[in-house]
């Protein structure tokens, strides 16, 4: 039997719904469809609650760069203990308002 499971590159948990594609280089900043990764929706939402599109394009366009950020690393440590299908809304970061 073939294992078709996918692993979230941010939190390293098995992908479960809800999931979504994240453009490593935001479309608004010239990103293309081939520069995407499949993430849990909670992981994707966290990224966009912390960074603006310009910040993502300039300094956080790889998984490694995202994981090097203290707030993302703290989130990953927390969410890693949750079940793969865990989802919770993230509030928008105040810097983006």
Burial class (CB in 10 A: 0-12, 13-18, 19+), 56: buried
User: How high is the pLDDT of residue 31?
Assistant: 77
Element (H, E) at 68: helix 63-68
Burial class (CB in 10 A: 0-12, 13-18, 19+), 37: middle
Q: Tell whether pTM > 0.85.
A: no
pLDDT in tens, 73-96: 999 999 999 988 888 755 444 444
For the chain, the domains span: 1-84
2 falls in which pLDDT band (50, 70, 90)? Answer: very low
Please give the Cα distance from 24 to 27 (Å, whole number). Answer: 9
1 falls in which pLDDT band (50, 70, 90)? Answer: very low
pLDDT in tens, 5-44: 699 999 999 999 889 999 998 888 887 877 899 999 999 9
The DSSP letter of residue 19 is E
């Amino acid at each position: 039997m073939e294992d078709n499971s996918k692993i979230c590159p941010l939190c390293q948990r098995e992908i479960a719904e809800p999931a979504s594609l994240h453009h490593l280089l935001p479309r608004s900043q010239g990103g293309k469809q081939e520069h995407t990764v499949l993430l849990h929706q909670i992981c994707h939402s966290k990224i966009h609650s912390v960074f603006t599109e310009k910040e993502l394009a300039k300094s956080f366009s790889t998984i490694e760069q995202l994981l090097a950020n203290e707030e993302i690393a703290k989130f990953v440590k927390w969410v890693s203990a949750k079940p793969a299908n865990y989802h919770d809304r993230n509030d928008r970061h105040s810097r983006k308002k």
